[in-house]
Structure 1
Amino acid sequence: MTGKLEAILWSIALPGFAQLLNRKFVKGIVFLLLEFLVNVNSHFNMVIMHSFQGNIREAIEATNYQWLMFYPCLYMFTMWDAYKDAKGETPPYSYLPFVFGAYFVTIGLMYSPSLKLGQILFGPVWLPILFLIPGFLFGNFIRSMFMRLKVE
């Protein structure tokens, strides 16, 4: 069984890897297959390549949003699953940053073809990543509120 940080880092690398390390083979293979299915059908590798090269318009045009909309929830769920199955205590409500991260990334993805921050169009890779930050922060805020309510 892996540690929580190791599980998160392997899940970031590729959804399903941490499940395999945690010896959850069926789950790991299912997550890998789902990731592959969504990745290929959304053209995500091409979108990532265009985005890293600064070709945001090409990235937007290459994106199949109908498929890519599945990716944030799949990605964040596999990270949460790996985190909770890893060794060590799983604190109460620790799923909330993952859940709100998925929500906010999905919203960022929906607005990615048109939303500019200043004069910059970030596109379907960078804008959702930027939206992840407030999603995690909001999830941690909600978690801390729930923890206070539970204690009091």
Structure 2
Amino acid sequence: MTSLRSDARRVRDARRGRACATPVHGGGAVATVGAVIVTTVAVLLALGSPPPVVLVAALVILLVGAVAARRVTANLLAGLGLLIVRPYQRGERVRLHTPDVAAVLDAEVVRIGLLNTTLATTTGVETVPNTRLLRTPPDRPSSR
């Protein structure tokens, strides 16, 4: 009985937006690429390199960083798409098919962020990368 109450409390808190699910963090990769670009630009300028060389070097580092952090980049682009198009609203019920575990997840959308979406289920709070929402679009459960 206590387990059911705690599960119900987690779902209720998630619906209120107070639940703190573990998000997909992308700040580390972005900060690292930014630091490398700034350092490279500073060194090239200190060595007296012409501005076109500095610009090309910065663009090459940015491109390499985006490829290296492709998972973060993909989730960021998917999140921007979800936030612009808004196919799902906060509080909406969705059914997400998860082929890796051959299961169906019935959940309520709690938060749509830049990198991930937080869903409240009957067993707790789940955080799903935004690329997963775009890869396997959730069904809207019938209201029976």
Shorter chain as denominator, the TM-score bin is under 0.3
What is the TM-score when the length of structure 2 is the normalising length?
0.26
Name the one with the larger strand percent: 2
Which gives a bigger RCO, structure 1 or 2 (Cα 8 Å, sep 6+)?
Answer: 2
What is the TM-score when the length of structure 1 is the normalising length?
0.25
